[in-house]
């Protein structure tokens, strides 16, 4: 009898402890779903929306009637913010400028160190980000620079030629059908945006014959993007899972991508280190190498300039050009196919401002209010990075009246912000006019979207990306209509894939010359 009572009591005590664990949360933490051992609230997130975690978490806000919700991803406490005021507060306060050091970030580097820019914090992040942005500017990054514009035009000319005349090289058959005009998106666009960044970095480009390796590089970048998720996957919650389920956990796909990308940039940098001559710095790479050598010569052991850091910084600065730019343009093409009246107005503006005899320039951009508004509306309605790159509280802080302990992952949901009726009225409508004034001029005050984030962590490539988006989109719309070949269907936006960034599934599209 006594044993039974004892058993019952221990069972009750165990249940009580489990309950306490499930509902326990840091003092003053925002409301949110309970947690279970190992997973935290991850399963509830997946139950709420299996495909898109950012939508699942936004669903919590409705459930708990709060624009800020708190929960756990594995052992990590997380706070997600779903209104304009909260999102801006997170982005603009340096207390939230940290990055969670999750396994997904570590596994990108062979020694499992967090290096580079994206997932770095503190002094290394500041020094590296500042150095790279400062010197890349000299080579045209982030500003208007005629030489760079000419380089981008060379890329666009190559792209038009490939589309019209079909593949010349083996690798091009993967992205354009023989005879031309039938192209694979977003893959077609990636090598050309990559080449534009590479030109800034090392003053050379891969010619079309040499672009096979670039195509592979961009495919691997997409593989990484699509196999990750907003919270670093189950892999970040329980890293040991890679040993048990290497395929199912995406570990193998992620590692294949990481290794290819890392090796590519390591070889690339080593070639430049070997041919470096002091006093004859040829390009941005050489300037970085100079800094490395100086630190070595002065015996500085705490320098943030090292070969391994260099590799990852370059990976981070190239990664979005390998993947994000082409994906964002492809989203826009999908909308232009679904909204032919918008496409007509864009093409009318192109015909009036540029005509058909030459390629678009950034000078034209100032005159092309409707086109620019359309690109901005594309960036808003398909938030490429829906949960932003996660931030982290660097100290005990407060947010929207709740306590946020040090090391909490903080998510300023760009998706929620871009879809908020309180800010946009009709967020679900694709309506470029929302950014125009009464005279049809672009009104920047009306564009309060934040596709690139804000504050000290603002996307380091915003200006470059906006320029690329304009030049590539207008070039495509100037020269072609997007049409449906027999058997083709209009894009289905609900098929968009999840990942670190959202992306459309690869699809073939038929182009036709504009008359």
Between 410 and 501, name the residue whose CB sits nearer to ligand NAG. Answer: 410
- The tokens of 166 are what? 């079909």
Q: Which of 151, 324, 332, 342 touches ligand HEM (CB under 6 A)? A: 324
In the list ligand NAG, ligand HEM, none, the entry touching 187 (Cβ below 5 to 8 angstroms by class) is none
Give me the phi and psi of 157, to 5 degrees please.
Answer: -65, -45
Rounded CA gap, 452 and 388, in Å? 8
Which structure tokens are listed for 337?
């196919």
- Which of 113, 218, 227 shows the shortest CA–CA distance to 171? 218
Question: Could you tell me which stretch among 42-50, 130-138, 416-424, 477-485 binds ligand NAG (CB under 6 A)?
Answer: 42-50
Give me the residue label for tokens 């290794």. 259
Which residues are within 8 A (CB) of 43 and not within 5 positions of it... i.e. 6 or more apart?
36
**How do beta strands 76-81 and 409-412 pair?**
parallel
511: which 2 tokens? 């182009």
**By CB under 6 A, what part of segment 440-499 binds ligand HEM?**
451-453, 457, 459-461, 464-465
Among 28, 75, 246, 505, binds ligand NAG (CB under 6 A): 246
Cα–Cα distances (Å) from 156 to 361, 377, 382, in that order, read: 11, 23, 24
Number of residues binding to ligand NAG, judged by CB under 6 A: 12
Strands 68-73 and 76-81: antiparallel
For residue 77, the tally of other CB atoms under 10 A from its CB is: 22
Binds ligand NAG by CB under 6 A, chosen from 61, 66, 83, 95: 95
CB of 251 to ligand NAG, least distance (A): 10
Place of tokens 């290497």: 246
Q: Which two tokens stand for residue 178?
A: 């023989």
Tell me 506's DSSP state: P
The DSSP-derived string for 223-248 is HHHHH--TT-HHHHH-TTHHHH-TTT
Q: Least distance (Å) from ligand NAG to the CB of residue 399?
A: 7
Largest pairwise CA distance in the chain: 96
Taking CB atoms, the residue at the shortest distance from ligand HEM is 461
User: In whole angstroms, how close is the CB of 248 to ligand HEM at the nearest point?
Assistant: 29
Q: Indicate which of ligand NAG, ligand HEM, none lies near residue 59 (CB less than 5 to 8 Å, by partner kind).
A: ligand NAG
Confirm or reject binding of residue 359 to ligand HEM (CB under 6 A). Answer: no
Q: How far is CA 330 from the centre of its chain?
A: 14
Task: Judge contact between 413 and 386, C-beta under 8 A.
Answer: yes
Q: Extract the tokens encoding 23.
A: 């509902």
Helix pair angle (369-381, 307-338), 10° resolution: 110
User: Mask of contacts with ligand HEM, 86-125, x by CB under 6 A?
Assistant: -----x-------------------------xx-------
129 binds ligand HEM (CB under 6 A): yes
For the chain, the residue count is: 515
Q: Which of 45, 292, 311, 389 binds ligand HEM (CB under 6 A)?
A: 389
Distance CA 352, CA 153 (A): 20
- 384 sits near ligand HEM (criterion: CB under 6 A): yes
- The answer to whether residues 313 and 115 touch, using CB atoms and an 8 Å cutoff, is yes
Q: Which does 459 bind (CB under 5 to 8 A by kind): ligand HEM, ligand NAG, none?
A: ligand HEM
Q: How near is the Cβ of 79 to ligand HEM at its closest, in Å?
A: 15
Binding mask 43-72 for ligand NAG (x = CB under 6 A): ----xxx-----x---x-------------
Which span sits near ligand NAG by CB under 6 A: 30-38, 41-49, 121-129, 154-162? Answer: 41-49
Q: Nearer to ligand HEM by C-beta: 328 or 496? A: 328
What is the smallest separation between the CB atom of 83 and ligand HEM, expressed in angstroms? 17
Out of 163, 241, 342, 385, name the contact with ligand HEM by CB under 6 A: 385
Q: Using the rule CB under 6 A, is 301 a contact of ligand NAG?
A: no
Site for ligand NAG contains 93 (CB under 6 A) = yes
Binding site for ligand HEM (CB under 6 A): 91, 117-118, 129, 197, 316-317, 320-321, 324-325, 328, 384-385, 388-389, 451-453, 457, 459-461, 464-465
Binding site for ligand NAG (CB under 6 A): 47-49, 55, 59, 93, 95, 246-247, 252, 397-398
């Amino acid at each position: 009898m006594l044993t039974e009572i004892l058993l019952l009591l221990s069972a009750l005590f165990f249940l009580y402890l489990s309950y306490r664990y499930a509902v326990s949360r840091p003092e003053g933490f925002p409301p949110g779903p309970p947690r279970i051992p190992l997973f935290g609230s991850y399963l509830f997130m997946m139950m709420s929306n299996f495909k898109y975690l950012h939508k699942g978490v936004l669903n919590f806000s409705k459930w708990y009637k709060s624009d800020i919700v708190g929960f756990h991803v594995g052992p990590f406490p997380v706070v997600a913010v779903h209104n304009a005021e909260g999102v801006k507060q997170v982005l603009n306060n340096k207390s939230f400028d940290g990055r969670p050091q999750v396994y997904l970030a570590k596994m990108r580097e062979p020694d499992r160190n967090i290096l580079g820019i994206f997932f770095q914090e503190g002094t290394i992040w500041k020094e590296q980000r500042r150095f790279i942005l400062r010197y890349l500017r000299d080579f045209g990054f982030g500003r208007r620079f005629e030489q760079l514009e000419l380089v981008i035009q060379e890329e666009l000319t190559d792209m038009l030629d490939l589309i019209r005349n079909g593949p010349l090289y083996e690798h091009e058959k993967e992205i354009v059908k023989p005879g031309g005009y039938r192209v694979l998106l977003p893959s077609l666009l990636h090598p050309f945006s990559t080449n534009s960044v590479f030109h800034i970095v090392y003053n050379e480009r891969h010619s079309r014959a040499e672009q096979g390796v670039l195509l592979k590089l961009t495919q691997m970048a997409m593989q990484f993007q699509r196999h990750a998720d907003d919270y670093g996957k189950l892999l970040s919650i329980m890293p040991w899972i890679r040993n048990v389920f290497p395929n199912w956990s995406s570990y193998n796909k992620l590692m294949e991508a990481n290794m290819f990308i890392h090796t590519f940039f390591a070889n690339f940098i080593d070639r430049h280190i070997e041919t470096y001559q002091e006093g004859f710095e040829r390009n941005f790479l050489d300037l970085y190498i100079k800094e490395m050598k100086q630190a070595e010569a002065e015996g500085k052991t705490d320098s943030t300039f090292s070969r391994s850091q260099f590799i990852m910084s370059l990976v981070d600065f190239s990664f979005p050009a390998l993947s994000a730019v082409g994906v964002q343009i492809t989203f826009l093409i999908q909308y232009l196919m679904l909204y032919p009246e918008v496409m007509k107005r864009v093409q009318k503006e192109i015909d009036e401002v540029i005509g058909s005899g030459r390629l678009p320039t950034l000078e034209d951009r100032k005159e092309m209010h409707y086109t620019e508004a359309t690109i901005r509306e594309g960036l808003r309605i398909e938030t490429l990075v829906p949960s932003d790159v996660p931030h982290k509280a660097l100290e005990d802080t407060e947010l929207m009246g709740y306590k946020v302990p040090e090391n909490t992952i903080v998510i300023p949901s760009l998706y929620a912000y871009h879809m908020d009726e309180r800010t946009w009225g009709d967020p679900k409508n694709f309506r470029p006019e929302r950014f125009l004034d009464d005279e049809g001029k672009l009104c920047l005050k009306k564009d309060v979207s934040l596709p690139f984030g804000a504050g000290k962590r603002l996307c380091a490539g915003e200006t470059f990306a906006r320029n690329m988006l304009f030049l590539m989109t207008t070039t495509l719309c100037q020269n072609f209509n997007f049409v449906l070949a027999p058997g083709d269907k209009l894009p289905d936006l609900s098929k968009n894939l999840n990942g670190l960034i959202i992306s459309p599934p690869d699809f073939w599209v038929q182009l036709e010359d504009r008359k």
